[in-house]
Amino acid sequence: MFGFFKKEKKSKPQVQKEVEELSDEEKTVLQASVEELKQALSTSMEEENQAESYEKLGLLQDRLHQTDDAISSLEKSLELKLSIGDGYKKLMSLYNSKRAEAARNGDDTGIEKYMNKMDDMRQIAKKVTLGG
């Protein structure tokens, strides 16, 4: 009658992953920073400083679209020191992207692998927030 109770059909918005495009100059600067951090990590430093350096390295590698390297560095950071900072958030995001990619490819093993990794991340968050 008046259309008050009709449900509007909404189309689902297309989700597009926003990829940061870097200029050649930005890539060069970021790559130089990556190399500096790798060099620093090859020297002896305290675990806490190592954890922080691996986190920074992983975040830089992500910006350079070096996803697998970023995951490796961020995982190493969390092995050295549990934290739920920027590195934790980025790693969770990367795991979720990898899981979604596996789902698009019909890779059940990949889906399970990254779901398990995301579960592990939730356990880290519990440990950190509960202090245990």
Fold classification of 24-130 (topology level)? 1.25.40
Q: What is the pLDDT of residue 18?
A: 60
pLDDT exceeds 90 at position 32: yes
Distance of CA 51 to the CA centre of its chain: 15
The domain ranges of the chain are: 24-130
Percentage of residues of the chain with pLDDT beyond 70: 85
Give 111-131 pLDDT, tens digit per residue: 999 999 999 999 999 999 988
Q: Are the CB atoms for 102 and 124 separated by under 8 Å?
A: no
Number of other residues whose CB lies within 10 A of the CB of residue 89: 13
Q: What is the pLDDT of residue 8?
A: 53
Give 65-108 pLDDT, tens digit per residue: 999 999 999 999 999 999 999 999 999 999 999 999 999 999 99
Q: Tell if the pTM clears 0.75, that is, is over it.
A: yes
